[in-house]
Amino acid sequence: MNQYQKRIFTGIFYALFSGVIWGICGILGEYFFNHYQVSSGWITSTRLVIAGVCVLLLSARQNGMAIFDIWKDKGNYLPFLAYAILGVFSVQFFFYLCIESSNAATATILQFISPVFILVYNHLMKRQRASKLAVCYIALAMLGVTLMATKGDFSSLAITPFALATGLLSAVAVGFNVILPQRFAKRYGFINTVGWGMLLAGLLSNTLYPVTRLTFSLDWVSVIIILTIALFGTALSFLVSMKAASLVSPLIVSVIGASEPLSSALLSVLFLGLQMDWLLVTAMFLVVVPMVFLSIEESKSGQKIH
């Protein structure tokens, strides 16, 4: 295994790990919504602030006062704000809003369409044309999502238009979340970038959904769920995903997130009573398998360049 192959393997491992964490915490989020009177806005505000503070403390321990270097250049203000709002906040908010209005499996599968938007971005901004095979893989994945959304009955969607819209917005946000922070991560480090992104997004979210506005009674179960989602599903997941993006292309990172809908759907079947029928299995197959082959094709293309 040469150096490039090791780099690809390591990046794919990080992307897989991030996807599994995200999928598991999606299940916890669904449990939270089902057992507590909590809104997607409140959980977004809480998890982002907690995760942002923890990641910045970790960055400060490693880099000291250098964690503030990112704010010394005024040219960073607007681009970083765009990353915090369009990426960090949106991917969290719309994902949990979709769970709130449907379920974790639906939200994670819809979010898995993010590679499509990254391909569109690459074509429009970088003039990178997608191959015929890539288009074919994406078409099959879209067919899988459609089958999942309709459950074979195309006369009416099996999920509400609102849930479908929020799930797709979450997928767009994944693209922003992977692409926008790259310039900052290379200059200031990915831990510092993720920490400030989450804290800024959390503070902005708090203007709409204050953490202090509790709509449920806190108990030890809810506290454990909140901390798990914040520390693992937000802080760790974002850090691992950013690390993956530093090793392989953003498209591969979003594609290898196949572990996310798989883990979420399987856990929903095991613990939340979701029925695993042949339509769901077929839909999952049509979404995941083409995206895995797309990842392999992207790796081969990258190796040719190297």
Whether the per-residue pLDDT at 221 is higher than 80: the answer is yes
Cα–chain center distance at 250: 12
pLDDT at 306 over 50: no
User: What pLDDT does 276 receive?
Assistant: 66
pTM: 0.74
Query: pLDDT category, 122, cuts 50, 70, 90?
Result: confident
User: 169-205: per-residue pLDDT in tens?
Assistant: 998 998 888 888 888 988 998 889 989 999 999 999 9
Cα–Cα distances in angstroms (integers) from residue 19 to residues 73, 158, 221, 253, 279, in the given order: 33, 25, 24, 9, 23
List the alpha helices (DSSP H) in the chain. 3-35, 40-63, 77-82, 90-101, 104-111, 114-125, 132-150, 161-179, 182-188, 190-208, 220-228, 237-247, 250-255, 259-271, 278-305
Cα separations in angstroms, 253 against 50, 102, 185: 25, 25, 15
Q: What is the pLDDT of residue 268?
A: 64
44 vs 203, residue with greater confidence:
203
